[in-house]
Amino acid sequence: MPVRWGIIGCGNVTEVKSGPGFQNARDSSLVAVMRRNAEKARDYAERHGVPRWYSNASDLIADPEVDIVSIATPPSTHCELALQVCAAGKPALVEKPMAASWAECRRMVEAFQDAGLPLFVAYYRRALPRFKKVQELLASGRIGSIRAVSVRYFAPWRNFDRENLPWRFRPGISGGGLFLDLASHTLDVLDYLLGPVAASAGFASNQGSSYPAEDSVSLALKLESGALGTGLWQFGADRSEDTIEVQGDRGRLTFATFGDGPIHLSSGGADEEFVIPNPTAIQQPLIQTIVDELNGGPPCPSTGVSAARTSRVMEQALWEYYRE
């Protein structure tokens, strides 16, 4: 049966990544969008062939022809909007990071569980073919027992007018800085591929003073499996780098969180590469799993429960920085 979507916050992320996915997934349609700027909401609806648009979130949530609501607004609004959707008796798909704090994530999870409603989070890499391939290679035993994982994410320095910062650099709106925005994907990938984190500790600092949020984060991890991990995110480097390396006792896998470059497998003295391109509407595979679950199929791999684990790890990494 067709699943009818409504989007709250039809900004840039919905133009290509998710909006077309709602329309093109099997048994799925996008029937309503909302943006506070009515002119921009109408423009989006007209360009994407969406039948209805709103400038008030409550009106979209109450629309009887909307079966599930996608919340694509900044993190500071995720919890409040998700609870409104829950109170209306509808499932929700929330953009990442799931909320501005782990406490908000727990509130959301508990509300939807109490209501008997599904809560999904847009960690869409869990459904992408390239990460399914990584999962397959890990399960095959080609690299043996997993001992450790290391993450490196470097990006060149960006200078901003502190009086006119983009929302992702304003902790009151985003919950933090680019660490929350980008590392959330990587940490969720680790949760998906290697299992939950049992313990973590981290340090954050602001080394460039271009904005109030953190710009450098280091993280130590112990996975429930017993494997250990480290991560370093630096947003003031001389170059760009995006590397996840999973080390086993018989080999290693190296791949990136972002983009769709080759997956490298080194095992038994031989090297292999696997190139698996991402779809244009990159969220569509995850959207399909949600639609399938709502129609009685297998469960979606990205839920409020799994996403809250990632938020907890990130909050532990940033605790000292924001406590000061």
Instruction: Provide the pLDDT for residue 161.
Output: 77
The side-by-side arrangement of strands in the sheet containing 119-121 is 52-54, 28-34, 3-8, 68-71, 92-94, 119-121
One-letter identity of residue 89: G
Q: Packing angle between helix 184-194 and helix 304-323, nearest 10 degrees?
A: 130
Identify how many contiguous H helices and E strands the chain contains and give both numbers: 12, 14
The class level of CATH for 126-278+308-323 reads: alpha beta
For position 324, what pLDDT does the model report?
56
Q: Measuring CA to CA, how many Å separate 228 from each of 108, 111, 242, 314? A: 30, 33, 19, 17
Residue 239 is classified by DSSP as S
pLDDT at 211: 87
> Would you kindly state where each structural domain of the chain is located, as residue ranges?
3-124+284-303, 126-278+308-323
Candidates 1.10.150.20, 1.10.3720.10, 3.40.50.720, 3.20.20.120; correct CATH number of 3-124+284-303? 3.40.50.720
By the 8 A CB rule, do 72 and 96 touch? no
Sign of the Cα pseudo-torsion (284, 9, 300, 254, in order): positive
Q: Other CB atoms closer than 10 Å to residue 310's CB: what's the count?
A: 29
Residue 300 burial by CB count (10 A; 0-12/13-18/19+): exposed, middle or buried? buried
Report DSSP state, residue 167: G
Q: Find out whether 173 and 74 touch, Cβ atoms under 8 Å.
A: yes
Structure letter (DSSP) for residue 140: T
Q: Alpha helix (H) ranges present in the chain?
A: 12-13, 19-24, 38-48, 57-62, 78-87, 102-115, 129-139, 171-174, 178, 184-194, 284-294, 304-323
Residue pointed to by tokens 């953009």? 95
Neighbours of 49 (CB within 10 A): 8
Per-position pLDDT tens, the chain of length 324:
899 999 999 988 899 999 999 999 999 999 999 999 999 999 999 999 999 999 999 999 999 999 999 999 999 999 999 999 999 999 999 999 999 999 999 999 999 999 999 999 999 999 999 999 999 999 999 999 999 999 999 999 877 777 788 888 888 998 889 999 999 999 999 999 999 999 999 999 999 878 889 999 999 999 999 999 999 999 999 999 999 999 999 999 999 999 999 999 999 999 999 999 999 999 999 999 999 999 999 999 999 999 999 999 999 999 999 875
Tokens of 308: 């809250």
Q: How large is the angle between the packed helices 78-87 and 102-115, nearest 10 degrees? A: 10
